[in-house]
Amino acid sequence: MNENEILRIENLTKKYFNKTALEDVNMSVEKGKIYGLLGPNGSGKTTLMKVIAQLHKQSSGHVFINGNPLSYESKASISYMPTENFLYDSFKVKHAVKFYADMYKDFREDYAMNILEEIKVDPEFRIAKLSSGLNGKLKVALALSRNADLYMLDEPLNGVDVLSRDTIMELISKSYDETKTFIISTHLVSEIEKILDSVIFLKDGRVELFGDAEELRLSKGTSVEGLYKEVYKNV
């Protein structure tokens, strides 16, 4: 195992009914980098994240976090933000913060409250009544308020307005340091391209392209967005 490796995936396959969502995925993710998990809807991005977060069980293959096979204990090292509205509707924002503080030892409550103030999410708001933009910002704020090894943000820019997208991008940039690894899935490549160190292109559940963003830009003579259009032009 590479000392700098935080996540290793070997021959990972995930099937639903008669559909194969992921097929023979192999990859190694290094510490201290921001990875873009890119692909159109249905390419397997969400499934891959859910398998790593252990909300889904793989049909075959192996996933290792910090060299150890996935277990409930590895959830303590992973801060996962699902794309869906998963927070309890009946909770107020402050209850969700408290829930995270109670459940995750690495959660920084004061940090979270500061972010909420910064992004103008009132802790007294009921989650059921939040707009999609505020809900998106809240989910990101909760995930980033943990001091985890690996952050997985599934479509953090989905369903939020342009201003909120800027806020979310700013939050991610501010949270990053070389001890943390980010995997951010999106199909809004242009919005996120500037912060990516590496890219993973998924197509029909398979890794189509994986590499350093800058090297790919130089070798292919185009931006990551350009590459995205090239890879998925027939999808």
Partner 1 sequence: MFKLLKYEFIRKYKLITMTLISALVLNLYLLTRGIAGSSSFLLLFPLVLAVLYVSDVIRTYSDDLNKKSGYMLFMTPNSGYKIIMSKLAAAVIEGIGMLFIYFLFILINGAFIIYQTRSYVDINEVMNDINTLLSGNIGINLGHVFVFLFAVLVFAIGFIVTVYTAMTIRKSIFSEIKFGGFLSFIIFLGLNWALTYASGEFYSIVSPQYGSFVNVTTVSASELLVIMFPVIAVSIIQSIILTFCSGYLLEKKINL
- Other residues' Cβ atoms within 10 Å of the Cβ of residue 94: 15
Nearest to 22 by CA among 54, 53, 49: 49
From the list 86, 129, 214, 218, which residue makes contact with partner 1 (rule: CB under 8 A)?
Answer: 86
* CA–CA gap between residue 34 and residue 14 (Å, rounded): 25
**DSSP element (H, E) containing 97:** helix 93-103
We find the least distance from the C-beta atom of residue 37 to partner 1, in angstroms, to be 18
Using the rule CB under 8 A, is 17 a contact of partner 1?
yes
CB atoms within 10 A of CB 42: 15
Of 53, 96, 59, 66, nearest to 183 by C-alpha is: 53
Per-residue binder mask for partner 1 (CB under 8 A), 52-71, x = binder: -xxxxx-x------------
In angstroms, what is the minimal distance from the CB of 96 to partner 1? 8
For partner 1 (CB under 8 A), the number of binding residues is 30
223 lies in the site for partner 1, by CB under 8 A: no
Q: Is 73 an interacting residue with respect to partner 1 (CB under 8 A)?
A: yes
Among 11, 26, 68, 88, binds partner 1 (CB under 8 A): 88
Give me the 103-132 binding string for partner 1, x by CB under 8 A, dash otherwise: xx----------------------------
Q: Tokens 């976090």 map to which residue?
A: 65
**CB closer to partner 1, 69 vs 221:** 69
Cα 36 from Cα 175, distance rounded (Å)? 16
